[in-house]
Amino acid sequence: MSSRGFTRSQLLAATVAFGLLASAAQAEQQPCIGNSAAVTGPAAFSGQAIKMGAQIAIDEINAGGGVLGKKLRLVQYDDAGAPPRGVDNTRRIALADKCIAILGGFHSTVAVAQVEPVHEIGIPYVGVWAANTKAIENGRDPNFMFRVSAKDKWVARFLVDEALKVAKDGKIAFFYENTGWGNGALPDVKAALAARGKELVAAETFNWNDQDMSPQVIRARDAGAEVVIVWSLDREGNQILRAMDKIGYKPSVIGAWGISGNLGELAGPLANGVRVMQTYSFLTPQSDTGKKVLAALAAQYGLKDPASIKAASGIADAYDAVYILADAIKIAGSYDWPKVQKALYEVNRDGLVAPYRPAFLKSDPERNDALLPEHYLLAVWHDGKLIPFKGSPYDK
């Protein structure tokens, strides 16, 4: 079923009442980039961050004349983290709004669900947040799913390497949230450990909003884990730290980027020394691009203090993703989906987060991801602030 499969009929007048959507579908002559993200619900911050990053990039591109002589526009729909709404939004963006490409959102379950409609329709998708490995490495050819963000498989390796530096006996526990993101990371972490000839001594899961993690923490302690790798958001990360504190268990804690928001604020001194992987930080010395983005964030969103930016990676990844897409459109010389998809493999540019040379590699199925492990940053929580690990008091 292609979008052209359904022809328009003369009966439109008869169904005016039911054709309400048509009004939404007609206005779009201007090329747009769509985005399905959580604008409401517990991860509402992510939709906001993506919007900021993408909009700043689009404004800059439009100030420079847009792409192919037209100005770009961002269309954001809320999926509230629910996959069916993400799927519906994907179709709406592609078929009703006829956008050039889709930017991904926060939730891995949504990203995985989008694989199917994205390929059925054949519209390029560029993930900017959800890190689930399989969303991008989905075995399709041609693959329309791209990503400018972390990939769990690589994050797992990155964190396992860090963990093994600390764990003398190599005893590592894994705490992961019971979501598509957490569950998807479990095999990645296991594989990364297996590659180093190790096994997890405990794998513990928990739900969002869980209020006490003592059973999980007790099991990890009893298993003798020296390091705990955490795949959670700040709120649950804080619960894990507090449960550890209560039973007097003090392992090293290393986390994926879910705990890079306000863990320091929530857990206070307990967060000191917790290491976090990030793709970007506005707290390091900034490049010219970084200064420009910071200025825009301060001017348009009132984020004057870089430390108050809680979702740096999301903003920066969305910013870069839009530029990569704009480049691809220029290379393709067209808004046509398959052409843009092919052109994405030809983009070369120095982005905010990393140099993309090239952004994607057609020859390597692992390289529909633009951010490579060497671009990942290790940060650490210290006195309520997330600072680069290198040169921190914990870097010994």
Partner 1 sequence: MSRLYAIGFLALAAVLVAVPLASDNEYELRLFMLFLIYAIIAVGLNVLIGLAGLVSLGQAGLFALGSYTGAITTTRLGFDMVGAGLTAAIVAGLFGALLAYPTVRVRGVYLAVVTIAFGLIVENVAIEWQSLTGGTTGITSIPSPNVFGLRLSGYAYYGVLAVSLFLLVAAAHNLKGSRYGRGLLAVAQSETAARALGLDPTALRTLAFVIASVTAGVAGTYYAFLNSYISPDIFTFTDSIRFLLMVILGGAASTFGPVIGAYILTYLPEYLQEFAVWQKFAYGALLLVVMFVLPRGIMGSLGALRSRLRPAARAIAATDGIDARTTLAREASEQQAELVARDLTVRFGGLTALSEASLRVKPGEVHALIGPNGAGKSTFINTISGFYRPTAGAFELDGIQLTGMASHEIARAGLARTFQNTELFGEMTVLENVMIGGQQRLRYGVLASILRTPAMRREEAHCRQAAIGLLAFVGLEGYAYEEARFLPFGLQRRLEIARALAANPRLLLLDEPAAGLTTQEIDDLEAMIRRVADLGISVLLIEHHVELIMAVADTVTVLDYGQVIASDTPAAVQADPRVIEAYFGTSGATHAPAEVPA
Partner 2 sequence: MSTVAQYVLSGLAIGGIYALVALGFHIMWSAARAVNFAHGDTLMIGGLLAAYLVASGWPLALACALAILVGGLFGFVLERLAVRPFAHQPNSIGWMLTTIAVGIMVESYATIETQGYALPLPSPGVAGSVQILGAGLYPQELAIPVLALAAMLGLQALQRHTLIGRAMQAVAHNKNAAALMGINVDLVVAFSFSLASLLGAAAGVLIAPVVQASATMGLLPGLKGFAVAIMGGITSAPGVVITGLAYGVIEKFVEGYVSTAAREIVGFSLMIVVLLAFPQGLFGKREVAKV
Contact flag: residue 22 with partner 1 (CB under 8 A):
yes
The single residue among 105, 184, 258, 314 that binds partner 1, judged by CB under 8 A, is 184
Q: Which does 82 bind (CB under 5 to 8 A by kind): partner 1, partner 2, none?
A: partner 1
Q: How far apart are CA 155 and CA 189, in angstroms?
A: 9
Residue type for 365, please? P
CB closer to partner 2, 74 vs 202 = 202
DSSP character for 365?
A: G
The single residue among 30, 40, 308, 348 that binds partner 1, judged by CB under 8 A, is 40
Report CA-CA distances (Å) from 393 to 272, 274, 275, 382, 388: 10, 12, 12, 8, 10
96, with CB counted inside 10 A (0-12, 13-18, 19+), is middle
Q: How far is the CB of 71 from partner 2 (least distance, A)?
A: 29
Q: How far apart are CA 312 and CA 309, in angstroms?
A: 6
The single residue among 49, 72, 99, 113 that binds partner 1, judged by CB under 8 A, is 113
Contact flag: residue 92 with partner 1 (CB under 8 A):
yes
The single residue among 183, 272, 286, 334 that binds partner 1, judged by CB under 8 A, is 183
Residue 212 sits at the vertex; the CA angle it makes with 209 and 215, to the nearest 5 degrees, is: 125
CB closer to partner 1, 19 vs 142 = 19
Q: CB under 8 A: which stretch of 83-91, 187-195, 215-223, 352-360 binds partner 1? A: 83-91
Q: How far is the CB of 56 from partner 2 (least distance, A)?
A: 18
- Is residue 277 helix, strand or coil? strand
Q: Total residues contacting partner 1 (rule CB under 8 A)?
A: 51
Q: How far is the CB of 13 from partner 1 (least distance, A)?
A: 8
| Interface with partner 2 (CB under 8 A) | 38, 40-46, 48, 178, 204-212, 214-216, 218-219, 234-235, 238-239, 242, 245-248, 261-262, 265-266, 268, 310
Report CA-CA distances (Å) from 32 to 54, 66, 100, 118, 322: 12, 11, 6, 16, 11
CB closer to partner 2, 209 vs 363 = 209
Contact flag: residue 109 with partner 1 (CB under 8 A):
yes
Q: How far apart are CA 136 and CA 119, in angstroms?
A: 12
Contact flag: residue 12 with partner 1 (CB under 8 A):
yes
CB closer to partner 1, 76 vs 281 = 76
The single residue among 33, 77, 311, 322 that binds partner 1, judged by CB under 8 A, is 77
The single residue among 33, 39, 49, 254 that binds partner 1, judged by CB under 8 A, is 39
232, with CB counted inside 10 A (0-12, 13-18, 19+), is buried
Q: How far is the CB of 92 from partner 1 (least distance, A)?
A: 5
Q: How far apart are CA 257 and CA 41, in angstroms?
A: 19
Q: CB under 8 A: which stretch of 155-163, 182-190, 296-304, 349-357 binds partner 1? A: 182-190
> Which residues, in sequence order, are CB contacts of 73 under 8 Å at separation 6+?
30, 31, 32, 33, 58
Beta strands in 80-226 (DSSP E): 101-103, 125-127, 145-147, 172-177, 200-206
Q: Which does 268 bind (CB under 5 to 8 A by kind): partner 2, partner 1, none?
A: partner 2
CB closer to partner 1, 94 vs 228 = 94
Closest listed residue to residue 316, CA positions, set 54, 43, 27, 16: 54
Q: How far is the CB of 220 from partner 1 (least distance, A)?
A: 20
- Backbone phi, psi, residue 388, to 5°: -60, 140
SS3 content of the chain, % helix, strand, coil (to 5): 50, 15, 35
Closest listed residue to residue 34, CA positions, set 130, 87, 100: 100
Sites of contact with partner 1 (CB under 8 A) = 1-3, 5-6, 8-9, 11-12, 14-15, 18-22, 24-25, 39-41, 44, 47-48, 76-78, 80-85, 87-88, 91-92, 94-96, 109, 112-113, 115-116, 178-180, 182-184
